[in-house]
Amino acid sequence: MDNHLYKLLYDITVEEKGVLKKDIPEGMGACDALLISSVIYPADGSFSINFISVDGQTNTDMTFDELFKIWAIMANMLSEHKNATPGKAALCNQVFDVIRAALIAYKRSDG
């Protein structure tokens, strides 16, 4: 993909001491942890995706537990997305319900 024309550039900066909201440069966002889906659409019609995660508190990848929470919330969000077909919305809702039930059972078992 040496000749691929990328449409977006991104950069993640870890601020060791942190930044107050009033000091965030205009046009930038800020958070404690970040998960990015980096997607490339090659000319052959395929689909390439890479997930990049950073926990700013530890300067490491996000933990499994944090990524799991995001996945569960994403399933719920997709079930309510305005452009979801009824079938896809139902599937996402079922995934969220299974996750929720499994977590409740896990917590009841002192997990």
Residue of 23, 15, 22 lying closest to 57 (CA atoms): 15
pLDDT at 103: 85
pTM for the model: 0.76
At 63-91, the pLDDT tens digits run 998 998 899 999 999 999 999 999 999 99
What mean pLDDT is reported for the chain?
92
Q: Is 96 buried (19+), middle (13-18) or exposed (0-12) by CB count in 10 A?
A: buried
Band of residue 2 on the pLDDT scale cut at 50, 70, 90? confident
What are the backbone dihedrals phi and psi of residue 68, each rounded to the nearest 5 degrees, phi first? -65, -45
Whether 39 and 59 have beta carbons less than 8 Å apart is answered as no
pLDDT at 111: 58
pLDDT at 1: 65
pLDDT at 5: 92
**Residue 22: pLDDT over 90:** yes
Mean predicted confidence (pLDDT) in 85-110? 91
Q: Which two tokens stand for residue 27?
A: 């046009």
